[in-house]
Amino acid sequence: MRSDHPLDRYDVPEPRRRAARAATAAVVVAALVPLGFAGWLGWEAVAGPKKDGSGVAVGSLPAPGLATGPAAGGTSASGAASGSAGPSASHPASRAASASASSSASAAHSDAGKVPAASGQPLAGKTVVIDPGHNPNNGSYATEINKLVQIGNGTTNCDTTGTETDGGYLEADFTLDVARRARTLLEAEGAKVVFTQDGATTWGPCVTERAAIGNNAHADAAISIHGDGAPASDRGFHVILPAGVDQGAADNLAIVAPSRTLGVDVRAAFHSVTAEPFANYISNGSGLDVRSDLGGLNMSKVPKIFIECGNMRNATDAGEMTSASWRQLAAQGVVKGITTFLESGN
């Protein structure tokens, strides 16, 4: 039987998490609440959350150029949320979502000549690295995943088992499923998609290797998909952005700004598509956390974020996360955010 490793509860040791949060929460709130969060509140009041999956288009993208920097990122979040209140556009991605689920990256590229890039293959030439958090087999390899790896400003475990719902649905199974759904959608848009693991390995890889895979792929965007394991009364999703770390083998300073833009775009899109609220237990409900204790972010050289799609220990969130149709929405939300980011010239 696998057991709850202390590190799994919130994915990382709690004291370090809070230290990172305290240092950045004020900045995050100051930068984002006036524009992005206020805009979101306005949208909520007018339109309410979308709950009908069939009506959720991977469209209604804000105009290109909105998400070009940290300041504009707040505008982007507001714009994306406001845009989603309008009519559901028939975006190419919606059509792509119903297309062949078996298309590979190479097949998508070979089709590029048949479909105008402007409409059918908006992500042609882009590389997206998806990191499905943890590994379903990690629970059987405690020695391997508990070894320490260097993440610049310290050490951390190679990997962790992740959390699970009270019913025993593993976070690692959730992350793989959402990642595979997102891959199908991204490939239909013409992107090359690289996974850090696809459930076929016995354990890991280590968080440092997960970052290296994104770096070696020269990813235009990278995302690590997770589910959280917070107390049962907590719910909601949040995006984790890299804090700047220039220490030891880590130097991610160049990706801090573009990663924030990516994160703001994914936060807006994930919320608009899934109707999942911003986490009520992180960063004053802003839906954005900034951390310096995650190897996958410290060691990244490409724009990268984590998303905690929900709290697997919360009954409402667990009900969603164990639903295949909700996981499809989660994938659509992630892909919509990445598409917004990449179509804005990133």
**What is the DSSP secondary structure assignment for residue 253, as one 8-state letter?**
G
From the list 151, 168, 149, 169, the residue with the least C-alpha distance to 159 is: 149
Q: Which residues are catalytic?
A: 308
Which region, left, alpha or beta, applies to residue 218 given φ > 0 means left and ψ of -120 to 50 means alpha? Answer: left
Binding Zn ion (rule: CB under 5 A), the pick from 50, 91, 226, 267 is: 226
343 touching Zn ion, by CB under 5 A: no
Question: Can you tell me the distance from the alpha carbon of 274 to that of 286, in angstroms, rounded to the nearest whole number?
Answer: 16
Query: Interface with Zn ion includes 242 (CB under 5 A)?
Result: no
Interactions with Zn ion, residue window 158-197 (CB under 5 A): 162
Pick 300 or 339: Cβ nearer Zn ion: 300
The footprint of Zn ion on residues 3-22 (CB under 5 A) is 11
Q: Look up residue 256 and give its amino acid.
A: V
Which residues are CB-neighbours of 41 under 8 A, at least 6 positions away? none
Residue 295 binds Zn ion, judged by CB under 5 A: no
Q: Please report how close the Cβ of residue 173 comes to Zn ion at its closest, in angstroms.
A: 12
Q: Which stretch binds Zn ion (CB under 5 A): 80-88, 111-119, 226-234, 271-279?
A: 226-234
CB nearer Zn ion, residue 58 or residue 178 = 178
User: For Zn ion, which residue of 39, 133, 190, 310 counts as binding (CB under 5 A)?
Assistant: 133
Are the CB atoms for 183 and 107 separated by under 8 Å? no
CB of 308 to Zn ion, least distance (A): 7
- Say if CB 76 and CB 60 are below 8 A apart: no
Residue nearest Zn ion by beta-carbon distance: 226
How far, CA to CA in Å, does 324 sit from each of 53, 162, 174, 293, 320? 12, 20, 10, 31, 8
Count, residues near Zn ion per rule CB under 5 A: 4
Q: Nearest approach, Cβ of 110 to Zn ion (angstroms)? A: 35
Q: Which is nearer to Zn ion, 192 or 235 (CB)?
A: 235
Smallest gap from Cβ 299 to Zn ion, in A, equals 17
User: At closest approach, how far in Å is the CB of 189 from Zn ion?
Assistant: 26
**341 in helix, strand or coil?**
helix
Q: Which is nearer to Zn ion, 224 or 286 (CB)?
A: 224
Element (H, E) at 326: helix 324-343
The first and second tokens of residue 281, run together, are: 């237990």
Nearest C-alpha neighbor of 299 from the set 259, 336, 250: 250
- Minimum CB separation of residue 134 from Zn ion in Å reads 6
CB 329 within 8 A of CB 336: no
Q: Name the minimum Å distance from CB 112 to Zn ion.
A: 35
**Cβ closer to Zn ion: 36 or 133?**
133
Cβ atoms 322, 175 nearer than 8 A: no
Burial class (CB in 10 A: 0-12, 13-18, 19+), 70: middle
Cβ-based nearer residue to Zn ion, 133 or 152: 133
In the complex with Zn ion, which residue's Cβ is closer, 79 or 227? 227
Indicate the SS3 state at residue 235: coil
Distances (CA, A) of 150 to 205, 207, 228, 256, 298: 14, 10, 23, 20, 10
**Contacts with Zn ion, residue ranges (CB under 5 A):** 11, 133, 162, 226
